[in-house]
Chains A and B, each alone.
Chain A
Amino acid sequence: MHPLLRALLGPWELRWEVLLPLALFGSLYAIGWMRLRRQSKTQKVASRWRLAMYYLGLGSIALALMSPIDWLGTQLLTMHMVQHKILVMVAAPLIWLGNPYPVALWGLPFFARRLVTTGIAGATWLRAGLKAITQPAICWLVFTFTYLAWHDAVLYDLALRIEWVHNLEHLTFFLTAMLFWWPVVNGAPRLHKSMPYWGRILFVLAFVPPNAIAGFAIANSPEVIYTHYTTVPRLFGMSAFEDQMIGGAVMWVWSSEMMIDVAIIMLGVMSLKERKRKQKQAEASRAAQKTPSEQRIGQVEVAR
């Protein structure tokens, strides 16, 4: 077996700082989901697919931060890039698809639920502040800036050398990714008017050029940018330089492809909605074109 594959199949690492928040948010969601399902089994807020999406999102965080990927990330740039992609491109959108705000809210005890809803739904400074900092343009800028800034050679090496900086890097990646995906998935709480689908397509596609440029620059650099990887043993049959080429390609291709996929899905949803709208319009115009006698016959049939 290849040493990298063997390492990937190795045991997971215990990290309380990851496990406890995951258990807390997972429990809140589970309780809220069951409470909502008890009220109605057919409602949209707590559906089975949303439950699956949410737990897949939490599972992705666990995979990124507690599986051997985490340790391998300190040895291989490629695995570190994979870890970051899982956090920002997989976990964050999956969690939003789970519709966490209303469901987890019902998992809270009554007083806490009222406190949160008063803070977010009422005319409070919290809502005003959140509304100001979650403008889609600001979300895009904050995520893109954070994402690119951490790829600076000094910051990246610092994160690999000092554990708390490494944790901060992952936390800011994940939180800003949540900000980025918020207007795209249009998750609750909805503090702003929903972005039109074409706007969301532009929003995600606008991330492709900066990401591709950064990934391309890393993959094609004539020297090793992240010097930390020249100070670790090359146990997986890849030189630091080869590793950097693959790592840069992962950053460049995975994120760009993800954004293009999302844009295609949005296009599909947009055309589906447009078709439905046209269908409704056609039905309405057909009903209007019916002669008075036909309408009378229709009314008689309905009366029967």
Chain B
Amino acid sequence: MRCLDRSLGRVQRITLQLVTLCLAIATAASPVSAHGGGTPQIVDAPAGPYRLFAWTSPDPWRAEELVHVTVAVTRVDATGQVFPITDAQVAIRLISEAQPDQALTFFAQPVSAVATGFYEFDHKLPGDGLWHIEIEARGVEGVGVVAFTMVAEPAAPTRWLFWAGGAFVAAIGALIVLQAARQRALRREQTGQKQPVGRQGARPAFRIER
């Protein structure tokens, strides 16, 4: 590292240190996959000893796309104070109306150390149609279950046409710019015009005020 330090200039060394610092911060920070709320599906629903909340995204759900479910598990004490349940086991069951015997069960993970009592899971939805979603929260106080339904739309058509169209437009734009530049250079050559002063050689970007 010292050898590397000696071979680098001061500017490069500081840049390297800054990048290292950013990477260190990035590594120290807790990764969170989703921080957007989503569409509320269950709001303050009593489920056994708990009160549950659930949000889904995107809106609408689509087959072959990643779907996201966030669940908040809370408990209300006798004074009406709401507490997050941080050590619950949250199981989410997805049951397709088309194949009710093939339920998919997942365990949601805590969102982050800050979002206490919040759990989430992501999954690529296998098919479209009506989906019955069951959320089961299990903790030391007991078990609570809530359910809701979602309608998933068919898979979106492939987007390669969209990207190909974009690439085509970009290529045409680049060709126009190149052609214009070439014609301009040609015209200059024909008229024997010199380049403007501002484009000749090195020139300070601005004058330093003292």
Binding site for B on A (CB under 8 A): 7, 10-16, 19, 22-23, 26-27, 30-31, 34-36, 39-40, 42-45, 66, 68, 70-72, 74, 102, 105-106, 110, 113-114, 116-118, 121-122, 160-164, 166, 228, 230-235, 237
Contacts of B25 in A (CB 8 A): 12, 19
Is B2 positioned at the interface, with any CB of A under 8 Å from its CB? no
If A34-B11, A228-B37 touch, whether A106 touches B205 (CB-CB below 8 Å) is yes
Interface members, chain B 115-134 (any A CB < 8 Å): 115-117
Per-residue CB contact flags for chain B residues 58-95 toward chain A (1 = under 8 Å, else 0) read 11000000000000101000000111100000000000
Contacts of A7 in B (CB 8 A): 114, 116
Contacts of A106 in B (CB 8 A): 205
| Cα distance, A119 to B205, chains bound together (Å) | 11
Contacts of B159 in A (CB 8 A): none
Contacts of B38 in A (CB 8 A): 161
Instruction: State the total of A-B contacts with C-beta under 8 angstroms.
Output: 137
| Cα distance, A237 to B115, chains bound together (Å) | 16
Contacts of B82 in A (CB 8 A): 233-235
Contact of B198 among A66, A118, A233, A234 (CB under 8 A): A118
Contact of A40 among B28, B203, B208 (CB under 8 A): B208
Q: Smallest CB-CB separation from B42: which chain A residue?
A: A231
Contact, CB under 8 Å: A43 / B209? yes
Contact of B114 among A11, A27, A42 (CB under 8 A): A11
Contacts of B26 in A (CB 8 A): 14, 16, 19
Contact, CB under 8 Å: B113 / A11? yes
The contact sample of 25 A-B pairs, CB cut-off 8 A, is A7-B116, A10-B113, A11-B112, A11-B113, A11-B114, A13-B29, A13-B112, A27-B18, A30-B15, A30-B18, A34-B10, A34-B14, A35-B11, A44-B210, A66-B29, A71-B112, A71-B114, A71-B115, A105-B205, A117-B205, A121-B205, A166-B36, A228-B40, A230-B43, A231-B43
Contact, CB under 8 Å: B74 / A11? no
Interface members, chain B 152-210 (any A CB < 8 Å): 198-199, 202-203, 205-206, 208-210
